[in-house]
Amino acid sequence: MVQLDGHTLSIEEVTRVARNGEKIQLSAKAIAAVKKSHQRLITIIKQKKPVYGINTGFGIFCSKNITIEENKELNRNLILSHAVGVGPFLAPEIVKAAMLVRANTLAKGYSGVRPIVIETLIAMINQDLIPMVKSQGSLGSSGDLCMLAEMALVFSKGITDAEEESGLALFKGHQYSGKEAMREAGIQRVEFGPKEGLATINGATFSAALAALCLWEASTLCAIADTALSLSLEALLGRSEAFDERLQKVRGLSGQQEVAEHVRKLIKDSTFINSSPHIQDAYSLRCGPQVHGAVRDTLNFVSNIIRKEINAATDNPLIFEKYDVLSGGNFHGEPIALFMDYLSIAISELASISERRIFRLLDENLNQDLPPMLVDDSQKIGLKSGLMIPHYTASSLVLENKILASPDSIHSLPTSANQEDHNANAWTAVKHTHQIIENSFRVLAIELYTAVYAINIRLKKNADKKLGFGTQVAFDKIRSLVPYKPGDILWEKEIELLYQGLKQPDMILQGLIE
């Protein structure tokens, strides 16, 4: 059970709730903080001073005063008018992660909402009632407004409470209107009070949530990349000197040292390693610790930022002690955009160096006496294509990554009559990172498949040779999923099976990363 307190939510917990269905509850400390914040809001309202978002309009309309009697209509109109996302629906796990992050943000106790708002989100998460949210339309600056508004349509209601204005939701495998889904689940919908509509949709929450999921995937990807490097090193009769602990220490980079140590453990006791007379490997092998390590260091750096973001108060204004209401810009997604751009570049490099190793495994001039394109019957070279075209696929994905990794954070367009004149483009940045990670999983699946295929060819000629302790485990795991098949076959199905295995840790991942 994950305890939400607004301060300690982890990337791992976001993943466990979104993907594994772990339950959550609001901590007693958070309930007290939320109640105190709401009481401060009530006191501020009684003072009848104009305060942005509480008794005024929004954005360019911030100078328009709103009466207490109009406040419910103001909050409902905000949700209706902002729910304008387009494109395909997001995966349920992304929406669930965003609901969790939003609940945690409000639980911090600076937004002025009632506990019932957070408790309703928590009840939806625990019952797996997931709003259907469109994937396009957010600038990630005033927050992921359209997506959060589509989420809010489902669990909030207006005075008329029209079914067609309640959005769509998934519940127990079926699609319903939001109103019907909440009724089926037995969860009461909320009529927003002062500031509650704004507090629900103001913040780059979907960006932060998907960023957290990306970081979890990226950490897995880094471990798989080290295993792919090790298997390629075995297949290419690589040298071990480049992974010596002393080399890594004199540079002093922690990621580099971690990678080299991981590879040393994987290739320990191999008789393929150092069995060729060549004295130095190509960069894609020899510089693996430097490249993979830099990606790990980037991942650690970005994780620190996103960990803070999923525990941040991000709506506007925020309510503090002594009834201070401060209007600022914590909703702005620039930190997410910049650092996810950074991660996109790093992960792209992980796939890029993997593609170079695939190329080397297939080129008879570079692969230490393996057949061209790994055609396993020398009498049928030309008649068979071997693994030529899986490499084309990997190359295509790497090229796509290079385009997607072009920074999104440097692009901005003004909105709201120039009141919002610098936007972060955070959501686009995170979406591109997510796609780059998916592409990179597939590139690494192709490298793993190619490397173990090459090892099978070597073992045919050198049955007395053996892999390292860790690489043997990885080899066996892969072959249990996709047994060796000589000759040209439908590679796509084989590689897809391996890709799916990488995405399902209970299938083969443990053997690949330990």
Same-domain status, 370 and 448 = yes
Separation in Å, CA 512 to CA 230, 355, 450, 504 = 10, 19, 15, 12
The CB density around residue 153, as the number of other CB atoms within 10 Å, is 27
Same-domain status, 157 and 262 = no
Is it the case that residue 387 has pLDDT exceeding 90?
yes
DSSP states of 245-257 as a string? HHHHHHH--HHHH
Q: Mean pLDDT over residues 414-439, rounded?
A: 93
Q: Mean pLDDT over residues 317-324, rounded?
A: 87
Rounded-to-integer distance, Cα 71 and Cα 49, Å: 14
Separation in Å, CA 155 to CA 19, 181, 250, 267, 334 = 21, 9, 57, 54, 29
Same-domain status, 449 and 504 = yes
* pLDDT score recorded for residue 262: 96
Structure token digits, residue 267: 């290739």
DSSP states of 300-326 as a string? HHHHHHHHHHTT---SSSEE-GGG-EE
- 75 carries an active-site annotation: no
**How many domains are there within the chain?**
2
* pLDDT score recorded for residue 507: 47
Q: What share of the chain has pLDDT > 90, as a percent? A: 82
* Residue of 183, 189, 286, 479 marked active site: 286
Q: Which of 142, 170, 202 is the last residue of a domain?
A: 202
Q: Which of 202, 233, 263 is the last residue of a domain?
A: 202
* pLDDT score recorded for residue 62: 66
Same-domain status, 47 and 96 = yes
Dihedral sign computed on CA atoms, order 94, 100, 101, 102:
positive
* Residue of 243, 331, 342, 449 marked active site: 331
Burial profile 114-148: b = 16 or more Cβ within 10 angstroms, e = fewer: bbbbbbbbbbbbbbebbbbbbbebbbbbbbbbbbb
* Residue of 82, 262, 307, 332 marked active site: 82
Q: Which domain holds residue 128?
A: 2-202
* pLDDT score recorded for residue 418: 84
Same-domain status, 190 and 214 = no
Of 40-44, 91-95, 163-167, 221-225, the one with minimum mean pLDDT is: 40-44
Helical (H) or strand (E) element with 88: strand 86-89
* Residue of 65, 163, 278, 283 marked active site: 283
Is it the case that residue 489 has pLDDT exceeding 70?
yes
Is it the case that residue 509 has pLDDT exceeding 70?
no
* pLDDT score recorded for residue 322: 78
Confidence class of residue 59 from pLDDT cuts 50, 70 and 90?
Answer: low
- 420 carries an active-site annotation: yes
Q: Which of 167, 185, 202 is the last residue of a domain?
A: 202
Confidence class of residue 358 from pLDDT cuts 50, 70 and 90?
Answer: very high
- Strand blocks (E) in 205-255: none
Rounded-to-integer distance, Cα 463 and Cα 454, Å: 14
Is it the case that residue 416 has pLDDT exceeding 90?
no
Same-domain status, 367 and 237 = yes
Q: What are the tens digits of pLDDT across the range 395-410? A: 999 999 999 999 999 9
Is-contact 208 306, C-beta < 8 A? yes
How much is the pTM?
0.95
Is-contact 36 321, C-beta < 8 A? no
Q: H-type helices in 108-139, by residue range?
A: 115-126
Same-domain status, 156 and 279 = no
Chain centroid to Cα 383, Å, comes to 43
Same-domain status, 157 and 63 = yes
Helical (H) or strand (E) element with 134: strand 134-136
By CB atoms closer than 10 A (0-12, 13-18, 19+), residue 471 is: buried
Burial profile 306-331: b = 16 or more Cβ within 10 angstroms, e = fewer: bbebbbbbbbbbbbeeeeebeeeebb
Confidence class of residue 503 from pLDDT cuts 50, 70 and 90?
Answer: confident
DSSP letter, residue 509: I
Of 54-63, 174-183, 250-259, 492-501, the one with minimum mean pLDDT is: 54-63
Burial profile 475-487: b = 16 or more Cβ within 10 angstroms, e = fewer: bebbeebbeeeee
Q: How many CA atoms lie within 13 A of 418 on its CB side?
A: 0
- 283 carries an active-site annotation: yes
Dihedral sign computed on CA atoms, order 338, 339, 343, 346:
positive
Higher pLDDT, 275 or 422: 275
- Strand blocks (E) in 260-375: 318-319, 325-326
Q: For the chain, what is the radius of gyration of the CA atoms?
A: 27
* pLDDT score recorded for residue 73: 84
CATH number of the domain to which 299 belongs: 1.20.200.10
Of 75-79, 312-316, 369-373, 451-455, the one with minimum mean pLDDT is: 75-79
Structure token digits, residue 136: 């396009």
Does some domain include residue 58? Answer: yes
* pLDDT score recorded for residue 210: 98
Q: What are phi and psi of 371, to 5 degrees?
A: -70, 155
Q: What are the tens digits of pLDDT across the range 143-195? A: 899 999 999 999 999 888 899 999 999 999 999 999 999 999 999 999 999 89
* Residue of 55, 71, 104, 202 marked active site: 202
Higher pLDDT, 493 or 142: 493
Rounded-to-integer distance, Cα 66 and Cα 186, Å: 34
- 202 carries an active-site annotation: yes
Same-domain status, 185 and 234 = no
CATH number of the domain to which 71 belongs: 1.10.275.10
Q: What are the tens digits of pLDDT across the range 232-291? A: 999 999 999 999 999 999 999 999 999 999 999 999 999 999 999 999 999 999 999 999
Same-domain status, 140 and 30 = yes
Query: Which residues are within 8 A (CB) of 474 and not within 5 positions of it... i.e. 6 or more apart?
Result: 227, 230, 231, 266, 448, 511, 512
Rounded-to-integer distance, Cα 232 and Cα 225, Å: 10
Length of the chain: 514
Is it the case that residue 95 has pLDDT exceeding 90?
yes
Same-domain status, 443 and 383 = yes
Return the closest-CA partner of residue 232 out of 461, 392, 453: 453
Arithmetic mean of pLDDT over the chain:
93
Rounded-to-integer distance, Cα 471 and Cα 480, Å: 14
* pLDDT score recorded for residue 159: 84
**Partners of residue 174 on adjacent β-strands:** 171
Same-domain status, 265 and 380 = yes
